[in-house]
């Protein structure tokens, strides 16, 4: 933070010197350089402002994300896959590392459910904006009559915590089930009950993992996901309590519809919480979602 402030201070001195030169000399190149410097300064200033908003308890953490296809079969499962690709490209463009934890493939195309981790500075702080229902409107490539379809997918975002910390989990609050893994994975998977499902009885939260080779490894991953879900729930409740103290009517629910992606009859991506929108839907699907993330940070 101090380095960024120092950089801005130095750049402001350069801009002041350029302004003096522009006033004394009629030079188009100097004027163009000044415009570029002012544009660069404004962007850095806005970026710094966003960084100051990343002050939440878990904002600096990695993000554990889940995408679950809604009702609608292949079309909804393809939409879940499209969202996963969007986040994958966002991660690549921002120098983050994405690792798939667990995936359940669709029957014909796409995915039914996927859990993955995005690792990097402030990953959770930015991506917590994505929790909620994402809505797609398009002419379905899976419809022989080329009709317009509306599909939904839910996105969960949780901070990755290495240890439980303030999150207290008692052994008698857990129901642990084992089952045979499904999908790809070779002979070892499917023949043994290595997959794990953990239910946190007090909250009803359920997590599962089946991609690791052993039951112990699957249990470790599932427990990490459970801790993260409980931490996200705690943070959400704290934000709601703070909003009540401030006199705001604000219900923070991961299950609320947050954004629409319309491919037909026009192109538009619109966030229903912030009003942020763009007609460049292809750029958004290619991972250019920072504007939406920043708008959410400025709104909360």
Q: What is the C-alpha to C-alpha distance for residues 184 and 193, in angstroms, rounded to an integer?
A: 15
3-state secondary structure of 52: helix
> Looking at the predicted structure, is the pLDDT value of residue 246 above 70?
no
> What CATH architecture does domain 63-162+248-299 belong to?
2-Layer Sandwich (3.30)
> Looking at the predicted structure, is the pLDDT value of residue 73 above 80?
yes
Q: Which two tokens stand for residue 127?
A: 């991506």
Q: Which residue has the higher pLDDT, 101 or 37?
A: 101
Contacts of 38 (CB under 8 A, 6+ apart): 15
* Among candidate residues 34, 12, 14, the one with its CA nearest the CA of residue 23: 34
Could you identify the residue written with the tokens 């009702």?
71
Q: Which residue has the higher pLDDT, 185 or 276?
A: 276
Q: CA dist 46 to 49, 94, 266, 291, Å?
A: 5, 17, 31, 11
CATH for 171-244? 3.30.160.20
Average pLDDT for residues 17-46, to the nearest whole number?
Answer: 76
Domain ranges of the chain: 2-52, 63-162+248-299, 171-244
Q: Across all residues in the chain, what is the average pLDDT?
A: 85
């Amino acid at each position: 933070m101090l380095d960024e402030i120092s950089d801005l201070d130095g750049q402001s001195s350069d801009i002041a010197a350029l302004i003096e030169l522009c006033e004394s000399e009629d030079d188009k190149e100097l004027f163009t350089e000044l415009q570029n410097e002012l544009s660069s300064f404004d962007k850095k200033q806005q970026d710094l402002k966003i960084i100051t908003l990343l002050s939440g308890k878990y904002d600096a953490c990695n993000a554990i994300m889940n995408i679950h296809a809604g009702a609608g079969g292949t079309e909804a499962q393809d939409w879940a896959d499209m969202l996963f690709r969007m986040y994958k490209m966002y991660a690549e463009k921002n120098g983050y590392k994405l690792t798939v934890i667990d995936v359940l493939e669709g029957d014909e195309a796409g995915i039914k459910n996927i859990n993955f981790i995005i690792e990097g500075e402030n990953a959770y702080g930015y991506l917590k904006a994505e929790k909620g229902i994402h809505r797609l409107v398009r002419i379905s490539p899976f419809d022989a009559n080329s009709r317009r379809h509306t599909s939904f997918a839910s996105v969960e975002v949780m901070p990755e915590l290495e240890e439980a910390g303030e999150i207290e989990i008692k052994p008698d609050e857990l129901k642990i089930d084992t089952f045979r893994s499904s999908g790809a994975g070779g002979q070892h998977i499917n023949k043994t009950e290595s997959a794990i499902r953990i239910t946190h009885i007090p909250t009803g939260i359920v997590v599962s993992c089946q991609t690791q080779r052993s039951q112990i490894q699957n249990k470790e991953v599932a427990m990490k996901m459970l801790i993260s879900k409980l931490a996200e729930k705690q943070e959400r409740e704290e934000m709601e309590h703070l909003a009540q103290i401030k006199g705001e009517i604000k219900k923070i629910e991961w299950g609320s519809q947050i954004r629409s992606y319309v491919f037909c009859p026009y192109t538009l991506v619109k966030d229903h919480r912030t009003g942020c929108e763009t007609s460049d839907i292809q750029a958004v699907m290619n991972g250019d979602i920072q504007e939406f993330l920043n708008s959410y940070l400025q709104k909360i």
